[in-house]
């Protein structure tokens, strides 16, 4: 009997292996056949844009055009094919999801996956084959204009979330294009300057999110940055593209240029660029990977094998997204459905971070108030169509004011609005008399109301592509407004609408409650109202450190941001975000990972599966967490590793795992984490590889990088 079972198992395994091999080789066979039928001209057609967002196809062989769209938090409206004007369609509005830092603040991998699925559905509906996202560059400085599109200052958090997004998106047979590879951490001089950084900083901080998106998420495309890394443009950087991405990580997909980021023909072709995309609409023949590439091949400067490899990659992505190969596609997709709008709501609701809540101001008890003052330009401003390439034409956007009005409709509570400040483009000036009179109006409304909610922060004049901010200050005199309103009404709640770290010192001192709701997508107003009114228990956690001052952050303390048009040196090296704050013993106003709840969580005794592990072993760490308050809530349990003694300097803590637990009042759950030696390693520049040195390691378990609740140690055996 046993033998028969074994025999059946063996046969089944062999059949499965054969099927597996069969499908892999079916892909190869299909691609090889196409390739063998293509002329050089046809091959080159597949390697560069033929319009703003398309790459040409080969109709006689059934190879379609390749359609792309921005990304990363919605499918962008349609452009004219040959210029940068919107096409004016009436069918291209799309779900506007919370932007990068907002989704990162959820610390929820499952939500990132469903975000990807939603985006995939919408991209399919719009006939797009590649969505240009997620953006995973590290938030190195609070001032980078594109922080709002990115995820975190922490490479592990960014990588986990990005991998889930990619997997979700690609499950709908739309390719992800993770961007901007690599070390593209500022907008100033982004087209020319060089990020000068150590191999260690590159490997430990700036590459891991890309690596996770590629190796764990399976991203089929990667977009180059505009910048140079250590002197070499990303689009022609052999170390980045050829050696690391395609070599070490085994990336089988397409490395494409950011729009206009290619700078050469031969160097780019030889060093790993596969597809050139561009902004010089209308001059496609003049692009580097067009006529010039044909000539380079004919002159023997670029071998045919290199071209074939690139074409194979394009066809592979097409095959895997079922554009070719006679495979059934996933379905027509769907757009602007109630389900997608609910996805926007769920993400927004989980992204909201309760920064501070003294005196029990939040949640607002509806029965205890009869009026609420909603103040500030961000109470009524729509943010969807801003920020540049990530702008979304959305069918609607619920602002904070609208959200509160909707949720309080039918009650006796009077919602009053005051403008508070004028939001003008940067460098425009608002007359002092106007600003003063708006503050006076806001104060009067706040004084006459039971609760005051000031919606402050940034907008897309500040959180924007192509421009960095000059400082962390809240623009438009908002600090003064918040002070005046807080003085007029002790129950003042400050709502921060921003995608990047801002200066919250003064608001934190004068207002009892602070809530961060980000650039939170089309449903943010409803999500915010539900958090403020206690219908949703906040569970977001900061994906970056909010310091007291700008010069607390490494690049600013060292004066190396933004550098000059030639280069920016990363003198802080691996000490980015909380790594720097902790190394320097600096307090943060709101540390990385911070976020309060309306309930409380207690962390019990952690347990390890062993007190010592060997290099190949797995260590299991578990910690019981109990909801000891009176409301159901979610806690993000964070696990940081500390290398107690090491031959090189290491951060005090590095995030290595996290888990979001949903707990009813009184309920206890275990957060269970598995670690291997790889999680203990640093990038050893002397040996040019990752190394975990034997010795003692300490595990910090807590509710933020600064709020460690439990510690436990183990050793890595030699
Ligand atoms: C941006 C990319 C974007 C591309 C296409 C570039 O300027 O850097 O993120 O995907 O334009 O719009």
pLDDT tens, 194-206?
999 999 999 999 9
Q: Whose CA is nearest to atom 4 of ligand 1?
A: 259
Residue 23 to residue 326: CA distance in whole angstroms? 13
Does residue 302 sit in helix, strand or coil? coil
- At 296 the pLDDT is 98
pLDDT one-digit tens code per residue, 496-510: 999 999 999 999 999
pLDDT one-digit tens code per residue, 107-141: 999 999 999 999 999 999 999 999 999 999 999 99
- Does the structure show a pLDDT above 80 at 717? yes
Q: Is 234 in the pocket of ligand 1 (CB under 6 A)?
A: no
The residue out of 541, 568, 592 marking a domain boundary is: 541
**What is the average pLDDT score of the chain?**
96
Q: Which of 258, 530, 573, 679 is catalytic?
A: 258
Let me know if residue 439 belongs to a domain. yes
Do 613 and 702 lie in a common domain? Answer: yes
Q: Whose CA is nearest to atom 6 of ligand 1?
A: 259
- Does the structure show a pLDDT above 70 at 16? no
708 and 684 in contact (C-beta within 8 Å)?
Answer: no
From the CA of 191, how far away is ligand 1's center (Å)?
12
Residue 559 to residue 573: CA distance in whole angstroms? 13
The predicted model gives 288-302 an average pLDDT of 98
Q: Whose CA is nearest to atom 3 of ligand 1?
A: 389
- At 258 the pLDDT is 98
Do 354 and 501 lie in a common domain? Answer: yes
Let me know if residue 677 belongs to a domain. yes
From the CA of 259, how far away is ligand 1's center (Å)?
6
Choose the residue to mutate in 465, 466, 468 for probing ligand 1, maximizing ligand atoms within 8 Å of C-beta.
465
The predicted model gives 679-701 an average pLDDT of 98
Do 518 and 638 lie in a common domain? Answer: no
Do 607 and 526 lie in a common domain? Answer: no
- At 427 the pLDDT is 87
268 and 296 in contact (C-beta within 8 Å)?
Answer: no
Residue 149 to residue 133: CA distance in whole angstroms? 9
Residue 157 to residue 659: CA distance in whole angstroms? 11
Q: Is 257 in the pocket of ligand 1 (CB under 6 A)?
A: no
- At 377 the pLDDT is 98
124 and 177 in contact (C-beta within 8 Å)?
Answer: no
Which of 292-296, 324-328, 523-527 has the least mean pLDDT?
A: 324-328
From the CA of 258, how far away is ligand 1's center (Å)?
6
Q: Whose CA is nearest to atom 12 of ligand 1?
A: 389
Do 512 and 654 lie in a common domain? Answer: no
Do 521 and 652 lie in a common domain? Answer: no
Total domains in the fold of the chain: 3
Q: Is 258 in the pocket of ligand 1 (CB under 6 A)?
A: yes
The predicted model gives 304-318 an average pLDDT of 98
Let me know if residue 100 belongs to a domain. no
**pTM for this predicted structure:** 0.96
What's 36's DSSP letter? H
Does residue 414 sit in helix, strand or coil? strand
- What is the span of the domain harbouring residue 690? 601-716
The residue out of 541, 557, 587 marking a domain boundary is: 541
Let me know if residue 102 belongs to a domain. no
- At 6 the pLDDT is 42
- Does the structure show a pLDDT above 70 at 633? yes
The string of DSSP letters for 516-576 reads E--S--TTHHHHHHHHHTTSS------SS-B-SSGGGSHHHHTT-SS--SSEEE-TTTT--
Choose the residue to mutate in 182, 184, 389, 466 for probing ligand 1, maximizing ligand atoms within 8 Å of C-beta.
389
Do 531 and 630 lie in a common domain? Answer: no
The residue out of 495, 522, 541 marking a domain boundary is: 541
Let me know if residue 507 belongs to a domain. yes
Q: Is 132 in the pocket of ligand 1 (CB under 6 A)?
A: yes
Do 371 and 439 lie in a common domain? Answer: yes
From the CA of 197, how far away is ligand 1's center (Å)?
24
pLDDT one-digit tens code per residue, 638-670: 999 999 999 999 999 999 999 999 999 999 999
Let me know if residue 6 belongs to a domain. yes
What's 466's DSSP letter? T
Let me know if residue 369 belongs to a domain. yes
In which band, very low, low, confident or very high, does the pLDDT at 24 lie, cut at 50, 70 and 90? low
28 catalytic per annotation = no
Contacts of residue 492, Cβ cutoff 8 Å, sequence gap at least 6: 361, 446, 451, 452, 453, 454, 482, 485, 486, 510, 511, 512, 513
């Amino acid at each position: 009997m046993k033998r028969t079972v074994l025999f059946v198992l063996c046969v089944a395994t062999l059949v499965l292996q054969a099927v597996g091999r069969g499908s892999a080789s079916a892909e190869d066979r299909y691609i090889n056949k196409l390739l063998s039928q293509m002329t050089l001209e046809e091959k080159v057609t597949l390697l560069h844009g033929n319009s703003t967002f398309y790459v040409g196809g080969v109709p006689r062989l059934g190879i379609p055009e390749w359609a792309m769209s921005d990304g990363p938090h919605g499918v962008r409206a349609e452009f004219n094919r040959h210029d940068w004007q919107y096409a004016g369609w009436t069918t291209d509005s799309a779900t506007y999801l919370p932007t990068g830092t907002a989704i990162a603040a959820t610390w929820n991998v499952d939500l990132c996956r469903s975000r990807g699925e939603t985006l995939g559905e919408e991209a399919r509906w719009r006939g797009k084959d590649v969505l240009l996202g997620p953006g995973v560059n590290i938030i190195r400085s609070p001032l980078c204009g594109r922080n709002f599109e990115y995820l975190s200052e922490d490479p592990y958090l960014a990588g986990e979330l990005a991998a889930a997004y990619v997997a979700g998106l690609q499950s709908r047979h739309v390719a992800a294009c993770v961007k901007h590879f690599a070390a593209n951490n500022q907008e100033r001089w982004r087209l020319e300057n060089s990020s000068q950084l150590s191999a260690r900083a590159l490997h430990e901080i700036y590459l891991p999110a890309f690596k996770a998106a590629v190796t764990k998420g399976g991203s089929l495309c990667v977009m180059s940055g505009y910048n140079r890394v250590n002197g070499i443009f990303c689009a022609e950087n052999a170390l980045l593209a050829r050696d690391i991405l395609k070599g070490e990580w085994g990336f089988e997909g397409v490395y494409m240029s950011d729009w206009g980021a290619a700078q050469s023909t031969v160097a780019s072709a030889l060093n790993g660029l596969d597809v050139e995309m561009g902004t010089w609409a209308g001059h496609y023949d003049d692009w580097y990977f067009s006529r010039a590439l044909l000539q380079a091949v004919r002159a023997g400067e670029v071998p045919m094998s290199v071209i074939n490899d690139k074409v194979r990659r394009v066809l592979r992505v097409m095959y895997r997204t079922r554009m070719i190969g006679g495979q059934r596609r996933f379905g027509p997709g769907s757009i602007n459905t109630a389900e997608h709008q609910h996805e926007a709501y769920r993400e927004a609701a989980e992204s909201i971070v309760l920064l501070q809540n003294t005196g029990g101001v939040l949640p607002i008890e509806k029965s205890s108030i009869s009026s609420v003052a909603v103040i500030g330009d961000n109470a009524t401003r729509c943010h969807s169509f801003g920020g540049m390439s990530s702008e979304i034409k959305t069918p609607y956007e619920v602002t904070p004011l609208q959200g509160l009005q909707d949720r309080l409709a039918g009650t006796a509570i009077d919602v009053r609005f005051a403008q508070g400040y004028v939001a003008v483009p940067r460098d425009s000036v608002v007359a002092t008399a106007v600003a003063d009179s708006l503050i006076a109006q806001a104060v009067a409304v706040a004084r006459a109301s039971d609760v005051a909610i000031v919606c402050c922060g940034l907008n897309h004049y500040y959180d924007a592509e192509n421009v960095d901010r000059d400082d962390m200050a809240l623009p438009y005199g908002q600090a003064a407004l918040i002070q005046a309103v807080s003085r007029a009404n002790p129950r003042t709640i400050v709502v921060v609408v921003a995608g990047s770290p801002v200066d919250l010192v003064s608001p934190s001192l004068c207002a009892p409650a602070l809530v961060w709701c980000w650039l939170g997508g089309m449903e943010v107003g409803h999500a915010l109202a539900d958090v403020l009114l206690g219908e949703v228990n906040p569970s977001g956690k900061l994906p970056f450190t909010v310091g007291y001052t700008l010069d607390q952050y490494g690049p600013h303390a060292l004066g190396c941001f933004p550098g000059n048009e030639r280069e920016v040196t990363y003198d802080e090296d691996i000490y980015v975000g909380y790594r720097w704050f902790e190394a320097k013993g600096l307090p943060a106003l709101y540390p990385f990972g911070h976020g309060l709840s309306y309930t409380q969580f207690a962390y019990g005794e952690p347990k390890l599966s062993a007190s010592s592990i060997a290099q190949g072993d797995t260590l299991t760490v578990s910690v019981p967490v109990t909801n000891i308050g009176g409301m159901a809530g979610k806690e993000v349990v964070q696990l940081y590793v500390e290398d107690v003694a090491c031959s090189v300097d290491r951060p005090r803590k590095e995030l290595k795992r996290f888990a979001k637990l949903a707990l009813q009042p009184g309920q206890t759950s275990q957060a269970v984490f598995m670690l291997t030696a790889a999680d203990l390693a640093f990038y050893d520049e002397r040996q040019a590889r990752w190394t975990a040195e034997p010795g003692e390691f300490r595990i910090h378990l807590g509710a933020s990088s600064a709020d460690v609740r439990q510690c436990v140690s183990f050793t890595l055996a030699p």
